């Protein structure tokens, strides 16, 4: 489905390249409620209803995909909607990497060959993506490799977990930090809760800080 803010000349679209829906929207600035509702209308036409098998649709965090104005349209067509975690990026959204990369590569090559045929280049580039690429993209998508809740938890904590060749160095620094805590603190209120590990024996802290500044 293609949305354009420029008038479309009759007969310009080559349907031999593949099926495509093109909407002329003079004031379109980006995806919104209108584009989602137009998609639902085109996909649910009686002549070839793409929603006949009651599909599941997975969206990114754009509100227009599942706003109150369009939720009823999804429900009326017996479509179950799901939303990917915001800012999940390439790890959880397969369309953000392999599929879109392949599409851009195909489109850019066609634009160099036929620069005045942009609309048909978009359609041809889309249908040129092999089915194997799409399957591989979803296999690479971390969300489908196991328990989604656990995968999302690991994703959002990325950058806080040290692995590889720096793991030993990090553990040594962490042990030094624990020793410093035990030497200087007794009351856990003197440092932020998220700064000490769950297995730290906070009851056993009895160091210089407490002796000098603690309650008598």
Give the other-Cβ count within 10 Å of 117's Cβ.
14
Confirm if 62 and 86 have CB atoms less than 8 A apart. no
- Residue 62, SS3? coil
What's the fold here for domain 2-156?
Nucleotidyltransferase; domain 5 (3.30.420)
Arithmetic mean of pLDDT, 106-128:
92
**Given a cut of 80, is residue 185 above it in pLDDT?**
no
Token pair 């060749």 is found at 165
CA-to-CA distance for 28 and 24, rounded, in angstroms? 9
Q: Name which residue leads in pLDDT, 104 or 214.
A: 104
Dihedral of the alpha carbons of 2, 5, 8, 12, in degrees to the nearest 10: -50
- Residue 198 binned pLDDT confidence (cut-offs 50, 70, 90): very low
pLDDT of residue 200: 45
Q: Are 60 and 82 in contact (CB under 8 A)?
A: no
pLDDT band, residue 144 (cuts 50/70/90) = low
pLDDT for residue 139 is more than 90: no
pLDDT of residue 63: 84
The per-residue pLDDT of the chain, averaged, comes to 75
pLDDT at 111 over 90: yes
Give the per-residue pLDDT at 151.
Answer: 67
Report which of residues 1 and 202 the model is more confident about. 1
Q: Would you list the domain boundaries of the chain?
A: 2-156, 164-213
């Amino acid at each position: 489905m293609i949305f354009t803010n420029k008038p479309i000349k009759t007969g310009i679209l080559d349907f031999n390249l593949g099926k495509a829906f093109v909407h002329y929207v003079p004031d379109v600035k980006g995806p919104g409620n209108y584009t989602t509702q137009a998609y639902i209308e085109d996909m649910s036409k009686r002549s070839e209803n793409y929603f006949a098998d009651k599909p599941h649709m997975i969206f990114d965090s754009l509100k227009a995909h599942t706003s109150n104005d369009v939720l009823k349209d999804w429900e009326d067509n017996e479509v179950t909607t799901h939303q990917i975690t915001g800012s999940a990026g390439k790890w959880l959204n397969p369309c953000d990497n392999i599929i879109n990369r392949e599409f851009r590569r195909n489109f850019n090559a066609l634009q160099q060959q036929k620069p005045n045929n942009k609309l048909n280049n978009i359609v041809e580039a889309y249908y040129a993506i092999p089915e194997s690429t799409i399957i591989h993209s979803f296999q690479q998508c971390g969300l489908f490799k196991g328990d989604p809740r656990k995968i999302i938890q690991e994703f959002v904590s990325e950058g806080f977990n040290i692995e590889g060749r720096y793991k030993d160095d990090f553990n040594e620094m962490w042990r030094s930090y624990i020793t410093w805590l035990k030497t200087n603190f007794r009351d856990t209120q003197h440092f932020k809760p998220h700064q000490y590990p769950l297995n730290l024996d906070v009851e056993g802290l009895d160091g210089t800080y407490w002796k000098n500044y603690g309650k008598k």
